Structure 1
Protein backbone atom coordinates (compact mmCIF):
# COMPACT_ATOMS: atom_id res chain seq x y z
CA UNK A 1 0.00 0.00 0.00
CA UNK A 2 1.34 3.40 -0.94
CA UNK A 3 1.58 5.88 1.92
CA UNK A 4 -0.31 9.13 1.41
CA UNK A 5 -0.34 12.36 3.39
CA UNK A 6 -3.36 11.07 5.36
CA UNK A 7 -1.88 7.65 6.15
CA UNK A 8 0.01 7.66 9.45
CA UNK A 9 3.46 6.11 9.39
CA UNK A 10 4.11 3.03 11.47
CA UNK A 11 5.38 3.60 15.00
CA UNK A 12 9.10 2.83 15.44
CA UNK A 13 9.56 -0.60 16.97
CA UNK A 14 13.08 -1.46 18.16
CA UNK A 15 12.47 -5.20 17.85
CA UNK A 16 11.50 -4.90 14.19
CA UNK A 17 14.18 -2.32 13.39
CA UNK A 18 16.89 -4.51 14.90
CA UNK A 19 16.16 -7.18 12.29
CA UNK A 20 17.52 -4.75 9.69
CA UNK A 21 20.04 -2.73 11.75
CA UNK A 22 21.90 -5.78 13.03
CA UNK A 23 22.38 -7.38 9.62
CA UNK A 24 24.54 -4.52 8.33
CA UNK A 25 27.51 -2.32 9.14
CA UNK A 26 29.28 -2.06 12.46
CA UNK A 27 26.37 -3.36 14.56
CA UNK A 28 26.10 -6.40 12.31
CA UNK A 29 29.82 -7.07 12.57
CA UNK A 30 29.67 -6.79 16.37
CA UNK A 31 26.80 -9.28 16.42
CA UNK A 32 24.49 -7.09 18.51
CA UNK A 33 21.18 -8.70 19.47
CA UNK A 34 17.87 -7.19 20.51
CA UNK A 35 16.64 -8.38 23.92
CA UNK A 36 13.87 -6.11 25.28
CA UNK A 37 12.11 -2.77 24.89
CA UNK A 38 9.65 -0.46 26.62
CA UNK A 39 8.03 2.85 25.74
CA UNK A 40 11.26 4.83 26.20
CA UNK A 41 13.98 2.20 26.64
CA UNK A 42 15.81 -0.54 24.77
CA UNK A 43 18.06 -3.37 25.89
CA UNK A 44 20.59 -4.94 23.53
CA UNK A 45 23.18 -7.67 23.99
CA UNK A 46 26.79 -7.81 22.86
CA UNK A 47 27.71 -11.52 22.75
CA UNK A 48 31.18 -12.47 23.96
CA UNK A 49 33.58 -13.21 21.12
CA UNK A 50 37.29 -13.86 21.32
CA UNK A 51 38.14 -11.20 18.74
CA UNK A 52 36.36 -8.55 20.87
CA UNK A 53 38.51 -9.24 23.94
CA UNK A 54 40.71 -6.37 25.08
CA UNK A 55 43.29 -8.42 26.98
CA UNK A 56 43.77 -12.04 25.96
CA UNK A 57 44.91 -12.96 29.49
CA UNK A 58 41.65 -11.76 31.07
CA UNK A 59 39.12 -12.93 28.46
CA UNK A 60 37.07 -9.77 29.10
CA UNK A 61 35.33 -7.81 26.36
CA UNK A 62 37.16 -4.62 25.38
CA UNK A 63 35.67 -1.23 26.19
CA UNK A 64 35.25 -0.14 22.54
CA UNK A 65 32.59 -2.73 21.65
CA UNK A 66 30.76 -1.97 24.91
CA UNK A 67 30.72 1.74 24.02
CA UNK A 68 29.33 0.85 20.57
CA UNK A 69 26.64 -1.29 22.24
CA UNK A 70 25.61 1.59 24.48
CA UNK A 71 25.66 4.13 21.63
CA UNK A 72 23.33 1.96 19.53
CA UNK A 73 21.04 1.24 22.49
CA UNK A 74 20.90 5.00 23.11
CA UNK A 75 19.84 5.79 19.57
CA UNK A 76 17.22 3.06 19.58
CA UNK A 77 15.86 4.26 22.96
CA UNK A 78 15.50 7.76 21.50
CA UNK A 79 13.59 6.42 18.48
CA UNK A 80 11.48 4.19 20.73
CA UNK A 81 10.59 7.18 22.96
CA UNK A 82 9.73 9.38 19.99
CA UNK A 83 7.90 6.66 18.09
CA UNK A 84 9.74 7.38 14.87
CA UNK A 85 13.13 6.99 13.24
CA UNK A 86 14.86 10.33 12.79
CA UNK A 87 18.64 10.49 12.49
CA UNK A 88 20.53 11.46 15.64
CA UNK A 89 24.17 12.35 16.26
CA UNK A 90 26.03 11.56 19.46
CA UNK A 91 27.11 14.83 21.08
CA UNK A 92 28.29 13.37 24.37
CA UNK A 93 28.30 9.82 25.68
CA UNK A 94 29.90 9.44 29.07
CA UNK A 95 30.77 5.91 30.13
CA UNK A 96 31.72 5.38 33.77
CA UNK A 97 33.17 1.90 34.16
CA UNK A 98 32.47 0.31 37.54
CA UNK A 99 34.32 -2.96 36.96
CA UNK A 100 35.43 -5.29 34.15
CA UNK A 101 32.85 -7.67 32.73
CA UNK A 102 33.21 -11.28 33.82
CA UNK A 103 35.50 -13.49 31.76
CA UNK A 104 33.83 -14.81 28.58
CA UNK A 105 30.57 -13.02 29.49
CA UNK A 106 28.22 -11.26 27.09
CA UNK A 107 27.26 -7.72 28.07
CA UNK A 108 23.76 -6.26 27.96
CA UNK A 109 23.13 -2.56 27.56
CA UNK A 110 19.87 -1.06 28.76
CA UNK A 111 19.31 2.62 27.96
CA UNK A 112 16.33 4.88 28.56
CA UNK A 113 15.57 8.18 26.87
CA UNK A 114 14.36 10.28 29.79
CA UNK A 115 13.99 13.68 28.08
CA UNK A 116 13.51 14.95 24.55
CA UNK A 117 13.46 18.51 23.28
CA UNK A 118 13.04 19.86 19.76
CA UNK A 119 16.75 19.45 19.03
CA UNK A 120 18.19 17.14 21.69
CA UNK A 121 17.58 13.87 23.48
CA UNK A 122 18.99 12.80 26.85
CA UNK A 123 19.71 9.20 27.81
CA UNK A 124 20.99 7.17 30.75
CA UNK A 125 21.60 3.49 31.23
CA UNK A 126 23.71 0.62 32.42
CA UNK A 127 25.80 -2.14 30.93
CA UNK A 128 25.81 -5.42 32.86
CA UNK A 129 26.93 -9.00 32.42
CA UNK A 130 23.94 -10.74 33.95
CA UNK A 131 23.04 -8.80 37.08
CA UNK A 132 21.62 -5.30 36.54
CA UNK A 133 22.24 -4.60 40.25
CA UNK A 134 26.00 -5.06 39.66
CA UNK A 135 26.66 -2.97 36.52
CA UNK A 136 29.81 -3.02 34.44
CA UNK A 137 29.23 0.63 33.52
CA UNK A 138 26.82 3.53 33.81
CA UNK A 139 26.23 5.78 30.79
CA UNK A 140 24.75 9.23 30.29
CA UNK A 141 24.46 10.96 26.96
CA UNK A 142 23.15 13.80 24.88
CA UNK A 143 22.19 13.34 21.25
CA UNK A 144 21.34 15.96 18.63
CA UNK A 145 18.25 15.25 16.58
CA UNK A 146 18.69 15.86 12.87
CA UNK A 147 15.55 17.14 11.20
CA UNK A 148 16.52 16.76 7.57
CA UNK A 149 19.29 15.39 5.38
CA UNK A 150 21.69 18.34 4.89
CA UNK A 151 22.72 16.95 1.49
CA UNK A 152 19.30 17.74 0.01
CA UNK A 153 19.86 21.51 0.14
CA UNK A 154 23.54 21.45 -0.85
CA UNK A 155 24.21 20.55 -4.52
CA UNK A 156 27.89 19.95 -3.76
CA UNK A 157 26.95 17.09 -1.40
CA UNK A 158 24.18 15.51 -3.45
CA UNK A 159 26.57 13.15 -5.24
CA UNK A 160 27.43 11.59 -1.85
CA UNK A 161 23.87 10.43 -1.25
CA UNK A 162 23.37 6.67 -0.94
CA UNK A 163 20.37 6.86 -3.25
CA UNK A 164 21.50 9.59 -5.56
Structure 2
Protein backbone atom coordinates (compact mmCIF):
# COMPACT_ATOMS: atom_id res chain seq x y z
CA UNK A 1 0.00 0.00 0.00
CA UNK A 2 1.41 3.38 -1.00
CA UNK A 3 0.80 6.27 1.36
CA UNK A 4 1.88 9.86 0.95
CA UNK A 5 4.02 10.71 4.02
CA UNK A 6 2.91 14.34 3.69
CA UNK A 7 -0.52 13.17 4.82
CA UNK A 8 0.76 10.40 7.08
CA UNK A 9 3.06 11.74 9.79
CA UNK A 10 5.80 9.31 10.75
CA UNK A 11 5.28 10.16 14.43
CA UNK A 12 1.83 8.56 14.18
CA UNK A 13 3.27 5.43 12.56
CA UNK A 14 6.03 5.24 15.17
CA UNK A 15 3.51 5.62 18.01
CA UNK A 16 1.28 2.87 16.66
CA UNK A 17 4.30 0.59 16.16
CA UNK A 18 5.50 1.09 19.74
CA UNK A 19 1.95 0.61 21.06
CA UNK A 20 1.79 -2.81 19.37
CA UNK A 21 4.69 -4.07 21.50
CA UNK A 22 3.55 -5.42 24.87
CA UNK A 23 6.79 -4.60 26.69
CA UNK A 24 6.56 -1.01 25.46
CA UNK A 25 3.03 -0.63 26.78
CA UNK A 26 4.16 -2.06 30.15
CA UNK A 27 7.07 0.40 30.28
CA UNK A 28 4.74 3.24 29.15
CA UNK A 29 7.12 4.23 26.34
CA UNK A 30 5.85 7.21 24.37
CA UNK A 31 6.99 8.46 20.99
CA UNK A 32 7.66 12.20 21.09
CA UNK A 33 8.74 12.62 17.47
CA UNK A 34 9.76 10.66 14.41
CA UNK A 35 11.08 11.44 10.95
CA UNK A 36 12.61 9.54 8.07
CA UNK A 37 15.94 9.68 9.92
CA UNK A 38 15.26 9.58 13.66
CA UNK A 39 12.94 8.72 16.53
CA UNK A 40 12.72 10.18 20.03
CA UNK A 41 11.01 8.07 22.70
CA UNK A 42 10.36 8.85 26.37
CA UNK A 43 10.61 6.30 29.18
CA UNK A 44 8.86 7.78 32.23
CA UNK A 45 10.45 7.03 35.59
CA UNK A 46 8.61 4.29 37.44
CA UNK A 47 9.59 2.72 40.78
CA UNK A 48 8.65 -0.69 39.38
CA UNK A 49 11.63 -0.41 37.00
CA UNK A 50 14.24 0.11 39.72
CA UNK A 51 17.16 -2.28 39.49
CA UNK A 52 18.98 -1.10 42.61
CA UNK A 53 16.55 -0.35 45.48
CA UNK A 54 19.18 1.41 47.59
CA UNK A 55 19.79 4.00 44.83
CA UNK A 56 16.48 4.14 42.94
CA UNK A 57 18.31 3.69 39.62
CA UNK A 58 16.39 2.17 36.69
CA UNK A 59 17.58 -1.31 35.71
CA UNK A 60 20.00 -1.36 32.75
CA UNK A 61 17.84 -3.87 30.90
CA UNK A 62 15.08 -1.27 30.71
CA UNK A 63 17.51 1.21 29.14
CA UNK A 64 18.51 -1.49 26.63
CA UNK A 65 14.84 -2.07 25.80
CA UNK A 66 14.37 1.68 25.27
CA UNK A 67 17.32 1.86 22.88
CA UNK A 68 16.36 -1.33 21.01
CA UNK A 69 12.80 -0.04 20.61
CA UNK A 70 13.92 3.42 19.48
CA UNK A 71 16.35 1.87 16.99
CA UNK A 72 13.79 -0.58 15.59
CA UNK A 73 11.20 2.17 15.33
CA UNK A 74 13.68 4.36 13.44
CA UNK A 75 14.14 1.48 10.98
CA UNK A 76 10.37 1.13 10.47
CA UNK A 77 10.06 4.88 9.80
CA UNK A 78 13.07 5.00 7.47
CA UNK A 79 11.82 2.06 5.39
CA UNK A 80 8.30 3.47 5.26
CA UNK A 81 9.56 6.87 4.17
CA UNK A 82 11.87 5.49 1.49
CA UNK A 83 9.80 2.58 0.13
CA UNK A 84 6.25 3.48 1.23
CA UNK A 85 5.88 -0.01 2.71
CA UNK A 86 5.96 -1.70 6.09
CA UNK A 87 8.59 -4.31 6.90
CA UNK A 88 9.32 -6.40 9.94
CA UNK A 89 12.86 -5.71 11.12
CA UNK A 90 13.97 -7.88 14.05
CA UNK A 91 17.16 -7.01 15.88
CA UNK A 92 20.22 -8.85 14.60
CA UNK A 93 22.75 -7.18 16.88
CA UNK A 94 22.66 -4.41 19.46
CA UNK A 95 25.75 -3.24 21.30
CA UNK A 96 25.10 -0.98 24.27
CA UNK A 97 27.79 0.92 26.14
CA UNK A 98 26.71 2.32 29.52
CA UNK A 99 28.39 5.53 30.64
CA UNK A 100 26.57 6.39 33.85
CA UNK A 101 23.40 5.45 35.74
CA UNK A 102 20.18 7.30 35.09
CA UNK A 103 19.15 9.71 37.83
CA UNK A 104 16.14 8.55 39.88
CA UNK A 105 12.74 10.24 39.48
CA UNK A 106 13.46 11.54 35.95
CA UNK A 107 12.38 10.36 32.52
CA UNK A 108 14.95 8.81 30.19
CA UNK A 109 14.89 9.62 26.47
CA UNK A 110 15.98 7.35 23.66
CA UNK A 111 17.10 9.06 20.45
CA UNK A 112 17.83 6.72 17.54
CA UNK A 113 18.59 7.12 13.88
CA UNK A 114 18.65 4.71 11.00
CA UNK A 115 21.68 5.87 9.06
CA UNK A 116 22.00 3.11 6.44
CA UNK A 117 19.55 0.82 4.65
CA UNK A 118 20.99 -2.00 2.60
CA UNK A 119 18.88 -4.55 0.74
CA UNK A 120 18.85 -6.91 3.72
CA UNK A 121 20.07 -5.01 6.80
CA UNK A 122 19.35 -1.63 8.43
CA UNK A 123 21.98 0.06 10.61
CA UNK A 124 21.25 2.29 13.60
CA UNK A 125 22.86 4.32 16.35
CA UNK A 126 21.16 5.49 19.52
CA UNK A 127 21.69 7.54 22.67
CA UNK A 128 19.87 7.33 26.01
CA UNK A 129 19.91 10.53 28.04
CA UNK A 130 18.00 12.60 30.55
CA UNK A 131 18.76 16.33 30.62
CA UNK A 132 20.95 16.64 27.52
CA UNK A 133 21.79 14.42 24.59
CA UNK A 134 25.35 15.69 25.07
CA UNK A 135 25.50 13.95 28.48
CA UNK A 136 24.46 10.38 27.60
CA UNK A 137 23.57 7.57 29.97
CA UNK A 138 24.40 5.05 27.25
CA UNK A 139 24.83 4.73 23.52
CA UNK A 140 24.19 1.85 21.15
CA UNK A 141 24.79 0.66 17.63
CA UNK A 142 22.55 -1.91 16.05
CA UNK A 143 21.71 -3.88 12.96
CA UNK A 144 18.24 -5.02 12.02
CA UNK A 145 17.18 -7.66 9.49
CA UNK A 146 14.91 -6.48 6.72
CA UNK A 147 12.09 -8.91 6.05
CA UNK A 148 9.77 -8.63 3.06
CA UNK A 149 6.62 -6.51 3.38
CA UNK A 150 4.75 -9.69 2.39
CA UNK A 151 5.58 -11.10 5.83
CA UNK A 152 3.66 -8.36 7.67
CA UNK A 153 0.34 -9.82 8.75
CA UNK A 154 -2.79 -7.95 7.73
CA UNK A 155 -3.97 -7.19 11.31
CA UNK A 156 -0.52 -5.79 12.19
CA UNK A 157 -0.40 -3.75 8.97
CA UNK A 158 -3.87 -2.30 9.64
CA UNK A 159 -2.90 -1.44 13.23
CA UNK A 160 0.25 0.38 12.11
CA UNK A 161 -1.59 2.24 9.37
CA UNK A 162 -4.31 3.30 11.81
CA UNK A 163 -7.03 1.51 9.87
CA UNK A 164 -10.10 0.02 11.49
CA UNK A 165 -10.15 -3.76 11.87
- TM-score interval w.r.t. the shorter chain? 0.7 to 0.9
Q: Which runs of 5+ in 2 are unaligned?
A: 154-165
* 1:103–1:123 distance in 2 versus 1, CA, 3 Å: same
Aligned to 2:143: 142
Q: CA RMSD in A?
A: 2.1
Shift of 1:14: 3.9
TM-score (normalised: structure 1)? 0.80
- 1:15 pairs, out of 11, 16, 20, with 11
Write the mapping of 1:123-142 to structure 2, written as runs, cut at 5 A: 123-142=124-143
- 2:35 pairs, out of 38, 63, 67, with 38
Shift of 1:75: 1.1
Structure 2: distance between partners of 1:131 and 1:63: 19
Structure 2: distance between partners of 1:106 and 1:150: 32
Secondary structure in structure 2 of the residue aligned to 1:135: coil
* 1:139–1:81 distance in 2 versus 1, CA, 3 Å: same
How many residues matched?
145
* 1:49–1:111 distance in 2 versus 1, CA, 3 Å: same
Q: Which runs of 5+ in 1 are unaligned?
A: 152-164
Structure 2: distance between partners of 1:21 and 1:114: 20
- 1:61 pairs, out of 58, 62, 73, with 58
Point out the structure with the larger helix share: 2
Shift of 1:130: 1.5
